[in-house]
Structure 1
């Protein structure tokens, strides 16, 4: 019984290590000029846990790679909104 309890405690301690990088695609319809993606990228890269940002201006989308133990989708969309570019999640994948 003691071994089971210790194994469970060990699992709780390493649980954050199991979190994977996530990739979210954000629809950002307000990107209307070629410099808009730069503003969106700067806003997102300021968040702890954001690993990379790539925008597709022609599709009005931004792809964000992030550590889901440090930042969540709500924080990503809040950052773009606060930068003047409201966004919505178009998809998330591990």
Structure 2
């Protein structure tokens, strides 16, 4: 008898991102979040101060993505109701 295989799922979460004050900020946020292994796509809106991230939940999680943004100087937290 074998154990059932665990299947990874792609998830999408929207983060509210603090400290984005200039036109280059979204590029830094995008690069920092995209560098997390397992992140498939990042879209950042300077106007809305949000980042939408699609990731493989078997490879990473929201905390790791937020931590990468924080390390770059942009605290991020999941937007309420984004999951």
TM-score w.r.t. the length of structure 1 is: 0.81
Find the structure with the greater CA-based Rg: 1
Match of 2:23 in 1: 34
Correspondence 1:56 to 2:45: yes
Structure 2: state its 5+ residue gaps. Answer: none
Shift >2 Å, 4+ stretches:
none
Alignment of 1:65-80 (within 5 A): 65-80=54-69
Specify which structure has the higher proportion of helix.
1
Q: CA RMSD in A?
A: 1.1
Quote how far apart the aligned CAs of 1:76 are.
Answer: 0.6
TM-score w.r.t. the length of structure 2 is: 0.91
Quote how far apart the aligned CAs of 1:37 are.
Answer: 0.6
Structure 1: state its 5+ residue gaps. Answer: 1-5
